[in-house]
Amino acid sequence: MKELKIVTLGGGTGHVRLLEALKNLYNVRITAIVAMTDNGGSSGRLRNEFGIFPPGDLRNCMAGFINNLTLKKLFQFRFDETEAKREVSGHVFGNIFIAALEKVFEGNSIEALLWLHDFLGIDKRFRVLPVTTTKAHFRAVYANDEEVVGEEHFNNSSSSMPLPIKCVELTPKGTYICEESAEALREADLIIFAPGSVYTSTISVLLPEGVRACLKDTSAKKMYIVNVMTQWGETSGRGLDNNLHIFKSSDFISTIQKYSGVDFDFIICNNQKPSQNVLKIYEEVGSYFVETDFHASGILKNNQKIFLEDLISEKSEKVHLARHDLEKLRECLVRRLTELP
């Protein structure tokens, strides 16, 4: 059986969980391509102060591939945010390390990351790449035609802009996919769009020029794993009529397909609802369960296959989190991979 080349697209926790579910599969080579628009928190501070690319999503995805637990903890260590008088307050060690590496490698981001893969002992079959090495910001236009620039303004439960998003783009113009990521997409056997923040993680990866062309030119099958919960300010909020709007699974699918320019061959939706206690905790911050508006697994238009499965973590309710369970997701992916030609 030939080695399967898998490319994953996204950012944030959802992307990391996908990588952790994939990495122990037999005979796979994985390239994770992440968004480069983060300008909040530790990543944003380093980006603004040193003019580097935002390291947060790169760091998180690389951490998912690290086997040495001590090294993984070190790479993910965050300095106490209550130490307000200290300049490292709130910074993550891995972010600082990546920022220093980019300076050491004199701005050659890709070369710095490849060196870091080796330093961290990451399996040669796995790598994490930025979708672009051009510095750009995320821009959204809302239903009332107001615009917001900067990813830090999103996913805020107290947001004054919970209106539906009309369109998004990168600013300034002229942000292109880097050649290493373009090559990975062109050579892939399977491309997986990861669950996560729809606009600021998944769609942000699709916005650099050249990404849509690569997705259309590749012969790879495309898979999308739909979110378990919505996010206030992105996929839930209040409309111009002040009524609550909440994305359903079909909204996630159509939105990602609109910006990718391609249809999905496989769509995976969770159909297991968390407990009322967990739902209540999420609703307090404007997040809601993603209702599956498909009656059963089957075939959609353009021969897209949809699978409805129980993917909620049985352990999640103990920590009041509704997330994809790693083992259930892994088993689901194994079943789907057997259907690839």
pLDDT in tens, 222-253: 999 999 999 998 999 988 888 999 999 999 99
Q: Domain check: are 23 and 57 in the same one?
A: no
Q: Name the domain boundary from 129, 151, 175.
A: 129
* Domain enclosing residue 232, as ranges: 4-35+131-337
Q: Domain check: are 124 and 56 in the same one?
A: yes
39-82 confidence digits (pLDDT tens): 656 665 666 666 667 888 899 999 999 999 999 998 888 887 66
Amino acid at 182: A
Q: Domain check: are 17 and 122 in the same one?
A: no
Go through 296-318 and write b for each residue having 16 or more CB atoms within 10 A of its CB, e for each that does not: eeeeeeeebbbbbbebbbeebee
> What's the rounded Cα separation, in Å, for the pair 296 and 292?
9
Q: CA of 98: how far to CAs of 75, 91, 133, in Å?
A: 10, 12, 14
Q: Domain check: are 79 and 11 in the same one?
A: no
Q: Domain check: are 67 and 142 in the same one?
A: no
pLDDT above 90 covers a percentage of the chain that reads 56
Q: Name the domain boundary from 129, 144, 167.
A: 129
| Domain total of the chain | 2
What is the distance, to the nearest Å, from the Cα of residue 2 to the centroid of all Cα atoms in its chain? 27
> What's the rounded Cα separation, in Å, for the pair 43 and 30?
24
184-211 confidence digits (pLDDT tens): 999 999 999 999 999 999 999 999 999 9
pLDDT of residue 209: 96
- The answer to whether residue 169 scores a pLDDT higher than 70 is yes
Note the pTM of the prediction, 2 decimals: 0.92
pLDDT of residue 242: 86
Give me the CATH number covering residue 248.
3.40.50.10680
Q: Name the domain boundary from 105, 129, 153.
A: 129
pLDDT of residue 226: 97
Q: Domain check: are 254 and 111 in the same one?
A: no
Q: Domain check: are 49 and 162 in the same one?
A: no
pLDDT bracket for residue 4 (50, 70, 90): very high
Amino acid at 157: S
- The answer to whether residue 15 scores a pLDDT higher than 80 is yes
Q: Domain check: are 167 and 48 in the same one?
A: no
Cβ neighbours of residue 166 closer than 8 Å, sequence gap 6 or more: 140, 141, 142, 143, 145
> What's the rounded Cα separation, in Å, for the pair 270 and 177?
31
CA angle 278, 282, 286 (to 5 degrees): 160
Q: Domain check: are 232 and 302 in the same one?
A: yes
Q: Domain check: are 22 and 44 in the same one?
A: no
Q: Domain check: are 107 and 171 in the same one?
A: no
Cis peptide before 164 (omega within 30 of 0): no
Query: Is residue 117 exposed (0-12), middle (13-18) or buried (19+ Cβ within 10 Å)?
Result: middle
- The answer to whether residue 155 scores a pLDDT higher than 60 is no
pLDDT of residue 41: 65
Q: Domain check: are 97 and 163 in the same one?
A: no
Look over the chain and give the mean of its residue pLDDT values, rounded to a whole number.
88
Amino acid at 72: K
96-133 confidence digits (pLDDT tens): 888 888 889 887 889 999 999 999 999 999 999 999 98
- The answer to whether residue 319 scores a pLDDT higher than 70 is no
